[in-house]
Amino acid sequence: MGTLFRTRPPLVGQRPYTPSVASSLPATEDDVEAALSLLRAAGGRVTTARRALLEVLYEASDHRTAEELAADVHERLPDVHMSTIYRNLEELERLGVVAHAHLGHGPATYHLASSAHGHLVCARCGWTTEVPDRAFAGLSRDLKRTFGFTIDPRHFALLGVCEGCG
Protein backbone atom coordinates (compact mmCIF):
# COMPACT_ATOMS: atom_id res chain seq x y z
CA MET A 1 0.00 0.00 0.00
CA GLY A 2 1.92 2.99 -1.20
CA THR A 3 5.32 3.50 -2.76
CA LEU A 4 8.20 2.30 -0.66
CA PHE A 5 11.82 3.13 -1.28
CA ARG A 6 14.87 1.78 0.44
CA THR A 7 17.78 4.12 0.22
CA ARG A 8 21.32 4.73 1.37
CA PRO A 9 22.47 2.88 4.52
CA PRO A 10 24.19 4.90 7.19
CA LEU A 11 22.34 8.18 7.47
CA VAL A 12 21.91 7.55 11.14
CA GLY A 13 24.70 6.64 13.54
CA GLN A 14 25.76 3.23 14.71
CA ARG A 15 24.29 3.61 18.18
CA PRO A 16 22.91 0.36 19.58
CA TYR A 17 19.19 0.66 19.96
CA THR A 18 17.71 0.35 23.43
CA PRO A 19 13.99 0.98 23.22
CA SER A 20 13.06 2.05 26.74
CA VAL A 21 15.07 0.56 29.57
CA ALA A 22 14.34 3.53 31.77
CA SER A 23 10.72 4.12 30.92
CA SER A 24 9.54 2.30 34.03
CA LEU A 25 11.51 4.44 36.49
CA PRO A 26 9.52 6.53 39.00
CA ALA A 27 9.50 10.31 38.86
CA THR A 28 11.43 11.38 41.99
CA GLU A 29 14.94 12.56 42.81
CA ASP A 30 16.40 9.15 43.37
CA ASP A 31 15.83 8.44 39.72
CA VAL A 32 19.34 9.71 39.69
CA GLU A 33 20.42 6.86 41.91
CA ALA A 34 18.57 4.38 39.77
CA ALA A 35 20.33 5.64 36.69
CA LEU A 36 23.65 5.50 38.48
CA SER A 37 22.94 1.89 39.36
CA LEU A 38 22.32 1.19 35.71
CA LEU A 39 25.66 2.75 34.95
CA ARG A 40 27.42 0.68 37.55
CA ALA A 41 25.69 -2.48 36.37
CA ALA A 42 27.09 -1.79 32.91
CA GLY A 43 30.59 -1.72 34.33
CA GLY A 44 30.67 2.06 34.51
CA ARG A 45 31.78 4.29 37.34
CA VAL A 46 29.91 6.83 39.36
CA THR A 47 31.59 10.20 39.09
CA THR A 48 30.57 13.64 40.29
CA ALA A 49 30.20 14.81 36.70
CA ARG A 50 27.82 11.99 35.91
CA ARG A 51 25.78 12.55 39.03
CA ALA A 52 25.51 16.26 38.28
CA LEU A 53 24.47 15.65 34.69
CA LEU A 54 21.78 13.24 35.79
CA GLU A 55 20.56 15.70 38.39
CA VAL A 56 20.08 18.52 35.92
CA LEU A 57 18.45 16.10 33.48
CA TYR A 58 15.90 15.08 36.09
CA GLU A 59 15.33 18.58 37.39
CA ALA A 60 14.39 20.14 34.09
CA SER A 61 13.08 17.45 31.87
CA ASP A 62 12.24 19.40 28.75
CA HIS A 63 14.52 19.34 25.74
CA ARG A 64 17.89 20.85 26.33
CA THR A 65 20.90 21.18 24.13
CA ALA A 66 24.24 19.84 25.28
CA GLU A 67 25.28 23.44 25.78
CA GLU A 68 22.35 24.17 28.08
CA LEU A 69 22.93 21.05 30.07
CA ALA A 70 26.56 22.00 30.44
CA ALA A 71 25.54 25.42 31.75
CA ASP A 72 23.33 23.77 34.35
CA VAL A 73 26.05 21.38 35.38
CA HIS A 74 28.52 24.24 35.63
CA GLU A 75 26.50 25.89 38.37
CA ARG A 76 27.66 23.05 40.58
CA LEU A 77 30.80 21.83 38.91
CA PRO A 78 32.29 24.68 36.87
CA ASP A 79 35.09 22.58 35.43
CA VAL A 80 33.14 19.83 33.70
CA HIS A 81 34.20 19.93 30.09
CA MET A 82 31.88 19.86 27.09
CA SER A 83 33.49 16.67 25.88
CA THR A 84 32.55 15.04 29.16
CA ILE A 85 28.97 16.19 28.70
CA TYR A 86 28.86 14.72 25.23
CA ARG A 87 30.51 11.47 26.24
CA ASN A 88 28.14 11.00 29.13
CA LEU A 89 25.07 11.85 27.12
CA GLU A 90 26.17 9.22 24.64
CA GLU A 91 26.63 6.69 27.41
CA LEU A 92 23.29 7.51 29.01
CA GLU A 93 21.62 7.20 25.67
CA ARG A 94 23.17 3.78 25.20
CA LEU A 95 21.68 2.81 28.57
CA GLY A 96 18.29 4.10 27.54
CA VAL A 97 18.17 6.82 30.18
CA VAL A 98 18.17 9.77 27.82
CA ALA A 99 17.27 10.23 24.20
CA HIS A 100 18.04 12.95 21.75
CA ALA A 101 16.08 14.50 18.94
CA HIS A 102 16.87 16.84 16.10
CA LEU A 103 14.28 19.57 16.06
CA GLY A 104 14.72 21.49 12.84
CA HIS A 105 17.94 23.43 12.61
CA GLY A 106 20.32 23.94 15.48
CA PRO A 107 21.94 21.54 17.88
CA ALA A 108 20.40 18.27 19.00
CA THR A 109 18.26 18.32 22.12
CA TYR A 110 18.38 15.76 24.89
CA HIS A 111 15.67 14.64 27.25
CA LEU A 112 14.81 11.78 29.55
CA ALA A 113 13.78 8.67 27.71
CA SER A 114 11.12 8.15 30.36
CA SER A 115 9.23 11.23 29.29
CA ALA A 116 7.67 9.56 26.32
CA HIS A 117 6.57 12.07 23.76
CA GLY A 118 7.02 13.34 20.27
CA HIS A 119 7.62 16.88 19.22
CA LEU A 120 5.57 19.20 17.11
CA VAL A 121 7.65 22.10 15.89
CA CYS A 122 5.97 25.16 14.47
CA ALA A 123 7.82 26.31 11.38
CA ARG A 124 6.57 29.86 11.79
CA CYS A 125 7.18 30.77 15.41
CA GLY A 126 9.60 27.99 16.26
CA TRP A 127 7.84 26.90 19.40
CA THR A 128 7.80 23.29 20.39
CA THR A 129 4.72 21.39 21.46
CA GLU A 130 5.09 18.07 23.17
CA VAL A 131 2.72 15.28 22.33
CA PRO A 132 2.29 12.23 24.51
CA ASP A 133 3.13 8.83 23.17
CA ARG A 134 -0.37 7.57 22.81
CA ALA A 135 -1.32 10.21 20.26
CA PHE A 136 0.70 8.10 17.89
CA ALA A 137 -0.94 4.79 18.70
CA GLY A 138 -2.96 4.77 15.50
CA LEU A 139 -0.07 5.74 13.28
CA SER A 140 2.08 3.21 15.07
CA ARG A 141 -0.37 0.43 14.30
CA ASP A 142 -0.69 1.47 10.66
CA LEU A 143 3.02 1.63 10.02
CA LYS A 144 3.52 -1.69 11.72
CA ARG A 145 0.92 -3.30 9.51
CA THR A 146 1.85 -1.58 6.28
CA PHE A 147 5.62 -1.39 6.51
CA GLY A 148 6.52 -3.79 9.29
CA PHE A 149 8.13 -0.80 10.95
CA THR A 150 8.00 -0.29 14.70
CA ILE A 151 8.30 3.39 15.49
CA ASP A 152 10.02 4.69 18.58
CA PRO A 153 7.62 7.44 19.51
CA ARG A 154 10.15 9.19 21.69
CA HIS A 155 12.39 10.17 18.87
CA PHE A 156 11.13 12.45 16.17
CA ALA A 157 9.75 15.82 15.35
CA LEU A 158 6.91 16.83 13.10
CA LEU A 159 7.15 20.19 11.45
CA GLY A 160 4.04 22.17 10.77
CA VAL A 161 2.07 25.21 11.83
CA CYS A 162 0.76 25.70 15.36
CA GLU A 163 -2.67 26.94 16.31
CA GLY A 164 -1.57 30.51 16.93
CA CYS A 165 0.28 30.82 13.65
CA GLY A 166 -2.25 28.93 11.56
Partner DNA sequence: CTCTATGCAAATCTTTTGCACGAAC
Partner DNA sequence: GTTCGTGCAAAAGATTTGCATAGAG
* Residues found near its own copies in the complex (CB under 8 A): 2-17, 19, 62-63, 102-106, 109, 117, 120-132, 134-136, 138-139, 142-143, 146-152, 155-163, 166
d(CA 15, CA 155): 14
We find the least distance from the C-beta atom of residue 124 to its own copies, in angstroms, to be 5
Among DNA, its own copies, none, what binds residue 157 when CB lies within 5 to 8 Å by partner kind?
its own copies
Name which of 1 and 41 has its Cβ closer to its own copies: 1
Other CB atoms within 10 A of residue 139 CB: 12
Pair 22, 112: CB distance under 8 Å = yes
Nearer of residues 36 and 95 to its own copies, judged by Cβ:
95
Identify whether the C-beta of residue 41 lies closer than 8 Å to the C-beta of residue 12: no
Nearer to DNA, 92 or 113 (CB): 92
Q: How distant, in Å, are the alpha carbons of 80, 91, 152 from that of 16?
A: 26, 11, 14
Name which of 33 and 149 has its Cβ closer to DNA: 33
- For residue 104, the minimal CB distance to DNA (Å) is 11
From the list DNA, its own copies, none, pick the one residue 127 interacts with, judged by a Cβ distance below 5 to 8 Å according to partner type: its own copies
Q: Report in angstroms the alpha-carbon separations of 128 from 9, 82, 131, 151.
A: 30, 25, 10, 21
Pairing of strands 64-65, 109-112: antiparallel
* Residue ranges in contact with DNA by CB under 7 A: 13, 39-40, 43-50, 65-67, 77, 79-84, 86-88, 90-91, 105-108
